[in-house]
Each structure stands twice: as structure tokens, then as C-alpha cells.
Amino acid sequence: MKHSDVFTLTNGLQCSFQYKKSTVAHIAVAIKAGSRDELKHQQGLAHFIEHNLFKGTKNRKAYHILSRLDDVGGELNAYTTKEETIIHASFLKRDLRRAVELLSDVLIESTFPERELAKEKEVIKDEIFSYKDTPSERIFDDFEDLIFEGNGLGRNILGTPESVDGLSRNDILEFKSRTYTAKRIKIAVTGPYGGDRITAVLGEYFGGWSLTENQWSAENNAATAPRRIVSPEAQFQDHFMTGWRIPGIHSSDRRALLLLNNVLGGPAMNSRLGLNIREKHGIAYNIESYMNLYSDVGMLGIYLGCDPLQTKKAEQLVHREVERFISQPLGTLQLSKAKNQFIGQMALAEENGLNSAISAARALLHFGKVSTFDFVASQIRELTTLDLQRVANDYLAKELAFSLIYTKA
């Protein structure tokens, strides 16, 4: 029995499965439809559609959609990014058909009733206001708006209260016709099943979905000059972000940047930023670096929150740590430890079945294939100290950095 495979349904939908011995299973549908694909007057539309997929179909009312998996202890959820809409479900292994049928119903048969659209606008506006009350979260969105100003990647996923109020059912139908097409939708299942069963069940419920081959393409990235902005948005502590544009998800430099980012400010307690700024200097409780990779461009960002009197020093220390990668290549032992740490983190993430399903669906969406853990680990092991130094020098110079600071008025 194959433990993983990629196959295509008769209507052109590309799917994958991965066998995992477990009492639960997971399915993820990745759609190349995010806020970047919205027209200028449609800000927040991709997220609005994601919410309203669950508000009624030709076969079910909203309550019955929500209850279908809840009644058997399963979970149904979704989220929107700049380039993707992800819909996923987790369930007991006996409920495969129930879960697949439900996802097919909300994706294929959603009716978007006007009354539900009006109610959901109020819910989303409340979500927008909740972010406005949380500067430590809002700064991430505002920083990306800054670094990608002038194109779709610089539009907030939630939209604004005004833009959400202006969205219509016709906007939903137009957007879906452009973006919910055969080559832009991928499905992945992870669970204790053989490939024949997955192929049959997905074919039964998704194979009849009539999909077009619309060749919609989002606008290309517009480059703006690096800027530093200070905004009176904070209440108690300053919130500081700095970051750089980097190549997108298809770049050959992706792996080196991922490893560099993990050493710099990844989730481990012994990241360079954590050891220096938190442990040595005691300046910040929260500090991290992160990467967002899109189809044609990406960003590497650093966030910290600190006492306003410490912001200048924190900013200097952050750039000093980044400049170390440019001036001092990692030692052989440091590089070996960094690789082992990153590969270990990948292995732990691989054990999460839902993460595996979502990752597989996204991999199909961007690469048309699902790479094995061993293959990705081998690529990480091949990186050299000069690879990390080169990408730091190419992309992370101080003069290329954008910065955004929320401070007290």
C-alpha cells in the first residue's frame, strides 16, 4: 500500500493523501484566492467569502453546516491569507465521508443568502475593531501594508469597516468565478486510509464540480523605497518592527533564509535575538523574527515590544544582530546545531496531522508536488555558512530595512 501519493480527479482537481496511523484524520482544501486577488474596491472580500461559505448551501442552513461535524466531535474551520483561502476539517476516522461531503457542499453549493451577508458584515467589523484594540497584533498587518505599499499584498486581509459595508453578493460571485478554478484549488487528506479509498471518496464528492480554467493573475509586486515611520498608536509600551523584502516562495534562496531566520529569532529560547535582547539586556519580553513568502516576493520581519525608554537601544541591538550574519559567517559547529534544531522542529510539526494536511495542500498549490520530510531535511543539511552569509548580505542590509514603531502619543 502506498503511504502517500498525488493524483488528479477527472475535473482537473489535484489531490494528495498521506497515510498516518491514527484514530483521527484531516482534510485541507487550499484555494489560490486571497486578499491580493481582490479588485481595489473589494478590500476584505476574500475573507468575507471565507466567512460566508458556512452561512448556507442549497442543502443546508448555517446551523446544520456548523453542527454536521460538531455533532460527532469533529472540527471545521477556515482562514484567509494574502494569497490563499484554506478550509480544513478534523474528524474521527469513521467520519471520512461525512467530512468530505460537508466540505464539498460548502465549496460547491454555497448560496450566500443576503440576510446572512448583512449579519456577517457586523461580525467582521467587530473583528476589525478588536485588532485596533491590540497594537501588538495590528502592527504586523500595518507593517506589511508599509513594506508592500502600492499593490494587493499591501491591502489588509480584513478590509476596513467601510470596504466591508460596500461588499455585495455580486462581488462574491464575480470573485469566485475568477479565482475558484481548477488549477487554483488543491485538496489534501491525512489519515489512516489507503489511497484507493481517498481517491474514490474525493472523486465521488468533488469529481463532479464543474470548474473553469480562468487564467486570472494578481497584480505584480510594486517596489517602494525603504521607510521608517513612528506612529502614536501605543498605550503602555512601544511596539517596534523592522524588516526587509526578500525573494518569494520559488526562490532558490528560500531554504537559506528560513534557516537564517530560525537562528536569528525563531521559536526556540536560544535564538540570537532572544539570548541578546531578552536574556542578556532584559529589554523585551516578546521578541521574534518571522518570514512570509508569497508567489513572487516575500518579507522577513522582526518584532519586539519594550519600554519606550529602551526602544532606541533595542533597535540598535536588533540591527547589530542582523549585521553579524553579514560580517561573521556561522562557525561549523554553530551551523550544525542550527540545522539539527531546524530539522527537529520540522519533525515535530510533521507529527501534527492537520498541519501536514494543510502543508500538503499548500505545497500542491505552489509547487504542484508534495516534498517528503527526508527531501526537505536533505536540502537543509546541504546549506553552508557561506550560503547564510550571502543571503544576509544580499537582502538584509540596514539601508534596505523598513521600520514601523508604535509609541505613546
Q: Are 242 and 301 in contact (CB under 8 A)?
A: yes
CA 165/CA 293 separation, integer angstroms: 30
Give the pLDDT score at 220: 64
Give the max Cα distance, the chain: 64
Fold entry, domain 4-206: Cytochrome Bc1 Complex; Chain A, domain 1 (3.30.830)
List the chain domain ranges.
4-206, 228-408
Give the pLDDT score at 150: 82
Q: Are strands 24-31 and 85-92 parallel, antiparallel or unpaired?
A: antiparallel
Give the pLDDT score at 263: 98
Q: Could you check whether 4-206 and 228-408 share the same CATH topology?
A: yes
Give the pLDDT score at 216: 60
Q: Which residues of 176-211 are buried (b: 16+ CB within 10 A; e: fewer)?
A: bebbbbbbbbbbbbbbebebeebbebbbebbbebeb
Give the pLDDT score at 224: 76
- pTM value? 0.93
| CATH code of the domain made up of 228-408 | 3.30.830.10
Integer-rounded Cα radius of gyration of the chain: 22
Give the pLDDT score at 45: 98
Write out the chain's pLDDT in tens, 409 residues: 467 799 999 999 999 999 999 999 999 999 999 999 998 889 999 999 999 999 999 999 999 999 999 999 999 999 999 999 999 999 999 999 999 999 999 999 999 999 999 999 999 999 999 988 888 999 999 999 999 988 889 989 999 999 999 999 999 999 999 999 888 999 999 999 999 999 999 999 999 888 777 666 666 656 677 888 888 877 789 999 999 999 999 999 999 999 999 999 999 999 999 999 999 999 999 999 999 999 999 999 999 999 999 999 999 999 999 999 999 999 999 999 999 999 999 999 999 999 999 999 999 999 999 999 999 999 999 999 999 999 999 999 999 999 999 998 7
